Chain A
């Protein structure tokens, strides 16, 4: 479903991704771990072209999306994204945050969009916050709204960029719970995370990145209990 070929990304002289291939299948939950600066987030952001690859291809559902002739907006509708810093729209209510894109991009009428929006809020446990503005929500609530906002476009893939890193510890659980639920429903997910326990529990596959490459990958058991690469071992010994 997602395929990257020889993916390179440089920012000026700094080469962040140094050329690797990766394939992610439908219904897979893939967690990307690794030290900071290893290129995890850049890799994720290349998947929906928030970062344009310097070299190589990103292929979604057989379509090479970094081809300039492709309408990236169509592909992005199939890929929801959740950010570390939530990025909710502060001038819109919770419900409006969720319904804006379905109404303006997909052309769904407002009543229908509101209905979908309220169902999604219910699903992330925030049915009573529909009329609240983002500033009145806690970090965990904001992130759950952000997930609902991404889901409102009925994506086939969800990308998570360190979704719990900006949260107070006691709010991490509520966000992971929503993500766990999604994984169980068969959503294809790519998650950049520092939550090793969560990765072990939910992931089908774990990618360990370091220095711009995917250094090692395997099932959570393989990576966490029996890592082969020295760098993986060294990283895990520090975080586990």
Chain B
């Protein structure tokens, strides 16, 4: 027990900060990227639609682990070679980038489902009042879509917290990597990885409660 507390203490001290930092960045950029990709995919024009579709399909069709390795090791090596060793990305930057891009693809599909779930009479009513397409989207469609997608968006955020553990392979000292380092010192694998699991659970459970709270507050104003 005392061991477990020591482990959790060590992880809280050295890993949680990075995990939270990466999650927060990926959450924000994921939503921005996701919204853009969703609008691109729903666009009537060929180019934005093609870009968005390719982006979403490639990200969803390859493992996050491979994306992280490819970007941090693969792309980085090209970058180093091209700049003569001047430019080299840090593991933290690569991790944030991969998680944001990855999350964006899933968020895009969640947004699309939400937008398409709004009755098409809503858009017609808005347009019949003389609202341009974009204004109707912002004022009428998106606020209603957000409500229906909040549960799946919450789910995506929880997945995101857990996915950051993959970044342990590219040397980001987040919760999982911190756990590995602790285990390498104390050889107590059972209590160490139990501690790692507990830390993740506390993070995701807190997040899921927050999303729940948000859902209820939005329901009140309905």
Contacts and interface: CB of A to CB of B under 8 A. Distances in A.
Interface string B161-187: 000000000000000000000000000
Interface in A169-191: none
Contacts of A90: 144, 222
Contacts of A80: 128-129
Given A50-B124, A83-B121, A85-B121, A91 B130 contact: no
Nearest to B123: A87
B125 A89 contact: yes
27 contacts: A48-B128, A73-B127, A76-B128, A76-B129, A77-B129, A81-B128, A83-B121, A83-B124, A83-B125, A87-B119, A87-B121, A87-B125, A88-B125, A89-B122, A89-B126, A89-B140, A91-B143, A91-B144, A91-B147, A91-B221, A101-B129, A104-B131, A105-B129, A105-B130, A105-B135, A133-B222, A146-B125
A73 B131 contact: yes
Interface of B: 119, 121-122, 124-132, 135, 139-140, 143-144, 147, 221-222
Interface of A: 48, 50, 73-74, 76-77, 79-81, 83, 85, 87-91, 100-101, 104-105, 133, 135, 146, 149-150, 153
Contacts of A150: 128-129
A105 B133 CA distance: 12
Contacts of B135: 104-105
Given A73-B127, A77-B130, 13 more contacts: A76-B127, A76-B128, A87-B124, A87-B125, A88-B125, A89-B126, A89-B140, A90-B222, A91-B222, A101-B129, A101-B131, A104-B139, A146-B125
Nearest to B130: A77
Contacts of A153: 129-130
Contacts of B119: 85, 87
A77 B130 CA distance: 5
A73 B130 contact: yes
Contacts of B143: 91
A149 B124 contact: no
Contacts of A50: 124, 127-128
